[in-house]
A and B are shown apart, each in its own frame.
Chain A
Amino acid sequence: MFGELLKGLQTTLRYMFRPPVTVQYPDVKRPVRERFRGRHELKRFANGQERCIGCSLCSAACPADAILVVPAENNLEQPTSPGERYAATYEINMLRCIFCGYCEDACPTNAIVLEHQYELSFYDRQTSIYTKDMLLVPPDQGHGEIPPILTQLGDKRPSPPAQIDL
């Protein structure tokens, strides 16, 4: 019996001298995998135009019916996106979203990308609906910069979807 106790403590002792696998979240955040599917972002082209052309294919592909797109016709002098149509309304209900990434697959312009942000919590249902303002990256971003996680890992590749241009 005493021998078995020592045998158990041996494992404990062994782990005592190893670095811990847990981190002090939220002070420390563990890097996610490169293909992790977190909160969506709507990307832009290098000229600042929105990649989203309001085709609604993401919404059609969504198995959870989380996406609402209401398209409108572009003002040809100052187009919001390339082509004739843009998304006037783009909303994702994060309580419905199952983060399957089908929207990303369906998107013909790589406009919607599931990024690495995973801290999604809400006090009420209304705030769980992310509108286009929240999803769309600022005008000077979202076209091929290296994702923070890759920088953290020391990898200099930009995220794959944003490499592809129209």
Chain B
Amino acid sequence: MHFEKPVRLGDLILLDRERCILCGRCVRFQDEIAGDAVLGYGTRGRNWHIISKSDPPFDSKFSGNTTDICPVGALTTADFRFRARAWELRPVPSICNHCPVGCNITFDMRYQQIMRVMPRENAAVNDIWICDKGRFGHRFVESQERLTQPLVRRGDRLEPATWNEALDLIATRLADIQARHGGEAIGGLAGERLANEDLFLFQRLFRDMLNSPNLDHHCGSPAEPPDDELGVLLGPGSGTNLMELGKGTTVLVIGADPEEEAPIYRLRLRGIADRGGELIVAHTRPTRLEASATHALRYRPGSGALLARALLSLVFAQVGSSKLSQRTPGIAELETAAKKLKLASAAQGLGLDEAAITAAAERIMQADHVLIVYGADTLSSGPSLAHDLGCLLLLLGKAGKPNSGMLPLLPQGNSRGALDMGIRPDKGPGYTALEKRGLSAAEMWGAALEGRIRAMYVLGLDPAAVHPQTHAALAKLDFLIVQDMFLSETAQQAHVVLPAASVVERDGSYTNAERRVQRARKGRETPGESRPEWLVIQDIAQRLSGLIHASNGHDASSRKAGKGKRSERKAASSEEAAVLSSLLLRWDYMTVSDVALDIAEIVPGYSGITHEALGRTGTIGNWGRQTNEAFYYDGTNYENTEGIGIQYPARAEQSNFRFSVKPYEVKPFSGDQRYPFVLLVQKVLYDSDPLLRDSRVLPHVSAAYVALNTADAQRLGIRSGARVRVTSAAGSLELSARVFADMPAGSVLIPALLADAPVAQLQTGPQTRVTVELIEG
């Protein structure tokens, strides 16, 4: 009997009914593990078959996993279908750096081409699952738009040049600017997707070679979150495994939308709820995870800090601060501040029941393990929210314990690595204090306009696209170096553009949100003449060392005095000091692993994290490779034989840990007559990420829109689809409106990083106030 084939379950997944044995694994995966019940059975009898029940069809961000667990190959992805046979593929172990989860993946290569991306089992990170962005979002690697040779500006045009020309030009111009205006006139921005080794060498180039403190990993748009340190100070203790948590665990997810920010966390958190744990989801608007919550809190936009303070005051009332006063200076002040807060007034400010807040606090206090997950909304709403919750953990005595801690969903794949490596103006590698604070990205743009910053090196970032106001600042620069894979908007303004390598074309290590350092391997050659970032940084440094004279050399060792382990040893003899400074001035790394050895030596927290150590396998998980494979089909995912990474310990696990509490003032959110709405910026998984080019998920990237509450929209006469103008004190944007009943009243929501909607243009700070008016509708 023949069936028509293929049957499209969605635009990504196709079904071959002639192979399907109706085992229902895909249906069960969607129901039980992904929690998106979008698949089901259609008809009965001999026409019984798998159907998609959602609109748009197969509306799940985890759809690709069904093809892995299909035992007969009836489900195939549109991406890999018939492109090669599985036995012809060469698996290259790697790390997905699209989001902070850091999923272990395998690039299946055939010669130089990526054929498919498969999950690699790691129980501590992604089990055997990956999201569709990770699976289908790596086609950029083979894009025809990749830069293949260095470009140098001649007149108005960027023209191809050799590496020698480009590097010589960079070295002479940087040395010249440094000699005339000092190191402070040079600024560096490095992206959060680069490997730790790139970032480490980048900060060394600036701090040791150029003598410049101006480093950042942001684009400098107004509402960028402050650098998160709680994830390292109070992060989940070593040995944390979300897979094992269940009864006795309370997870508080506050101001985070894991579905959009870090999809695999949604699977893991709802798994905890499934196994009997308490899952408290607190957000201003509905999120996908809320459906799995045991306790949901919807607070008013802008009042997240109030919720944290209310929870904290309830915990103070129960626990008291006496035990903590020794090691946490400032806790008494915080206690008085917290006790001043009346629960009734807090509940009113939050728009919640008193009982709901108390119930949440009780669930947190009664739990054996407390995990606090916070994301974009929390990070961007000022420092006090996360800080108060950190204090809550300390009060409960959970800080630094396994399976308890603060888990920030940082914006990018290696955001934690960028912070660890000290790509920030105020702290060196490993969060060590610096003598002199540099300029942050936002300050650099101002300084560039004033002529205080003369040259910039932008590595793997595109500030001009994210934050359009930077165009003027970039145009003002005497010298702009951009290293990227594509000719981005920023690169078009550069004096020198250097082609970079993608994650598949180089070795490197990446640090995920839970501080797990993981290693990716090289799978293909770089296209054309492009080269990995760390090699280029080293080349620039080598050329600079001849041009920038020795004066830097001797004060390099003294500047290093505050820098990590090596200096802790306090070089006793001058001989040792000489060896030390020569080591620190080293620019002759042969491989990335050599750089990693130096990171392990220098960066506090990274000791022992060498590439060799990252390659060891420990407890991988218990999905695949069953003892009796005849009975258990384990899917087509890969056994992890290449290393599960190392989670470095949180600071709270150290015996000498001290946490200085800052009693932030928490004010109830007040309205503004001129700008009555609060602007919420939602991070979405499928955004206008340049790395999504050529990908099959591109049709899922939505057009820019602004979301409004039904009541607000009615009042303003706005219908879905109408053109509206959103205006703030900083600027305005024209967008089409979408009206939702479950949006919080008094707020408008714009998805971040969509084409033609540069939200940074509107933002004035963490909680931007805007007004909305109808243009036509």
Contacts and interface: CB of A to CB of B under 8 A. Distances in A.
Contacts of A110: none
Interface string B1-20: 00001100000000000000
A56 B82 contact: no
Interface stretch (B84-92, B261-269, B356-364): B84-92
Given A84-B5, A84-B6, A73 B82 contact: yes
A56 B88 contact: yes
B83 A71 contact: yes
Nearest to A53: B82
Contact of B82 (A59, A60, A71): A71
A37 interface: no
Nearest to B4: A76
Given A72-B82, A73-B81, A73-B82, A60 B87 contact: yes
A39 interface: no
A132 interface: no
Contacts of A73: 81-82
B14 to A, nearest CB: 9
Nearest to A70: B84
A34 B81 CA distance: 39
Nearest to B16: A84
B85 A60 contact: yes
Contacts of A59: 88
Contact of B85 (A55, A72, A84): A55
Nearest to B84: A71
Contacts of B82: 54, 71-73, 84-85
Nearest to A74: B82
Interface residues of A, number: 11
Interface in B62-117: 81-85, 87-88
Does more than half of chain A's interface fall in helix, strand or loop, or is it mixed?
Answer: mixed
Contacts of A60: 85, 87-88
A84 B82 CA distance: 8
Contacts of B81: 73
Interface string A81-92: 000110000000
Nearest to B83: A71
A60 B88 CA distance: 8
Contacts of A85: 82
Interface string A58-102: 011000000000111100000000001100000000000000000
A84 B85 CA distance: 14
A56 B85 contact: yes
A70 B83 CA distance: 7
A139 B88 CA distance: 30
A59 B88 CA distance: 9
A134 B83 CA distance: 23
A56 B89 CA distance: 12
Interface in B328-379: none
A84 B81 CA distance: 10
B339 to A, nearest CB: 68
Interface in A41-62: 54-56, 59-60
Contacts of B6: 84
A73 B14 CA distance: 13
Contacts of A71: 82-85
A114 to B, nearest CB: 22
Nearest to B85: A56
A71 B83 CA distance: 6
Contacts of B5: 84
A20 B363 CA distance: 103
A60 B89 CA distance: 12
Interface in B456-495: none
Contacts of A72: 82-83
Nearest to B110: A70
A70 B5 CA distance: 22
Interface string A103-140: 00000000000000000000000000000000000000
A147 B6 CA distance: 38
A72 B81 CA distance: 8
Contacts of A70: 84
Contacts of A84: 5-6, 82
Contacts of B88: 56, 59-60
A50 B91 CA distance: 32
A62 to B, nearest CB: 12
A149 B84 CA distance: 37
Most buried by B among A54, A59, A71, A72: A71
B17 to A, nearest CB: 13
Nearest to B81: A73
Contacts of B87: 60
B82 to A, nearest CB: 4
Most buried by B among A56, A72, A84: A84
A6 B85 CA distance: 70
Nearest to A73: B82
B580 to A, nearest CB: 53
A24 B84 CA distance: 48
A85 B85 CA distance: 12
Interface in B655-712: none
Nearest to A54: B82
Interface of B: 5-6, 81-85, 87-88
22 contacts: A54-B82, A55-B85, A56-B84, A56-B85, A56-B88, A59-B88, A60-B85, A60-B87, A60-B88, A70-B84, A71-B82, A71-B83, A71-B84, A71-B85, A72-B82, A72-B83, A73-B81, A73-B82, A84-B5, A84-B6, A84-B82, A85-B82
Top 3 A-B residue pairs of the complex, sorted by shortest distance between their CB atoms? A85-B82, A56-B85, A73-B82
Given A59-B88, A60-B85, A73-B82, 4 more contacts: A54-B82, A56-B85, A56-B88, A72-B83
